[in-house]
């Protein structure tokens, strides 16, 4: 199991063998239930107990904003901020010829289908800022550039609480080119 080292595994195994209560059985049942009941939302790819996830089914969220992420797990940190009230679309990976992952392996066709069906006015790209993430963003942007939808990307730059001296050159370049206006030149 991820995050469990040999020492923890041994402690857990001993606890399971010695436990008098039915806790180990309850945990086992919860694991089986989770495996059987959680699937991918057929719209956005996030985790869902039914056909559609809670986010896609939430009528209070904006249907005009769509945030494109790599993996369904990328939705969790964005949701924790509470700052985004649109919907998501997980493409399920990045274009990577070295790993034999092409555009047809990703949920890009599903994204185009949604654009034709839903009233989306802005697509926000939040794919990773590495080489594969960039080429995936560029590939999708190329497909969408003539569609009546604005295309944006989340800003990259200095983390909150981080100093300039600890940032690498790529991050500093991205922070400079993605600068935002505080006030204009007054004459
Ligand atoms: Zn969904």
For residue 162, is pLDDT > 90?
no
Res 180: pLDDT: 84
Q: Phi/psi at 151 (nearest 5 deg)?
A: -115, 125
Sign of CA dihedral 123, 124, 127, 132: positive
Task: State the helix-helix crossing angle for 131-144 and 108-117, rounded to 10 degrees.
Answer: 40
Res 22: pLDDT: 86
Residue with tokens 């604005």: 150
Ligand 1 centre from 43 Cα, in Å?
5
Ligand 1 centre from 13 Cα, in Å?
36
Ligand 1 centre from 130 Cα, in Å?
25
Please state, in angstroms and rounded to a whole number, the distance separating the CA atoms of residues 120 and 150. 9
- Measure Cα distances from 70 to 61, 120, 126 in Å: 21, 19, 8
Ligand 1 centre from 141 Cα, in Å?
22
Ligand 1 centre from 180 Cα, in Å?
31
Please state, in angstroms and rounded to a whole number, the distance separating the CA atoms of residues 78 and 71. 12
Kindly state the tokens that stand for 169: 């050159």
Ligand 1 centre from 105 Cα, in Å?
19
Residue with tokens 């497909």: 143
Ligand 1 centre from 112 Cα, in Å?
15
The CB density around residue 28, as the number of other CB atoms within 10 Å, is 12
At 3-31, the pLDDT tens digits run 999 999 999 999 989 888 888 889 999 99
Return the SS3 of 6: helix
Q: Give the class (CATH, top level) of 60-156.
A: alpha beta
Ligand 1 centre from 88 Cα, in Å?
7
**Which DSSP state fits 169?**
H
CB 63 within 8 A of CB 119: yes
- Domain range list for the chain: 60-156
At 33-84, the pLDDT tens digits run 999 999 999 999 999 999 999 999 999 999 999 999 999 999 999 999 999 9
Res 20: pLDDT: 80
Q: Would you place residue 101 in the very low, low, confident or very high pLDDT band (cuts 50, 70, 90)?
A: very high
What mean pLDDT is predicted for residues 130-137?
Answer: 94
For the whole model, what pTM was predicted? 0.83
Return the SS3 of 171: helix
Closest CA to 92 of 153, 135, 46, 130: 46
């Amino acid at each position: 199991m991820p995050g469990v080292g040999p020492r923890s595994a041994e402690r857990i195994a001993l606890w399971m063998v010695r436990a008098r209560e039915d806790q180990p059985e309850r945990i086992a049942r919860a694991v089986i239930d989770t495996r059987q009941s959680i699937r991918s939302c057929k719209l956005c790819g996030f985790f869902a107990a039914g056909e559609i996830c809670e986010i896609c089914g939430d009528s209070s969220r904006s249907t005009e904003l769509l945030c494109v992420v790599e993996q369904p797990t990328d939705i969790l940190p964005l949701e924790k901020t509470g700052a985004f009230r649109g919907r998501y679309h997980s493409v399920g990976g990045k274009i990577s010829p070295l790993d034999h992952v092409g555009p047809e392996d990703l949920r890009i066709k599903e994204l185009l289908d949604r654009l034709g069906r839903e009233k989306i006015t802005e697509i926000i790209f939040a794919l990773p800022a590495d080489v594969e993430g960039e080429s995936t963003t560029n590939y999708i942007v190329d497909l969408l550039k003539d569609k009546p939808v604005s295309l944006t990307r989340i800003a990259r730059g200095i983390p909150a609480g981080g100093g300039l001296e600890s940032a690498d050159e790529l991050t500093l370049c991205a922070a400079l080119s993605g600068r935002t206006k505080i006030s204009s030149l007054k004459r």
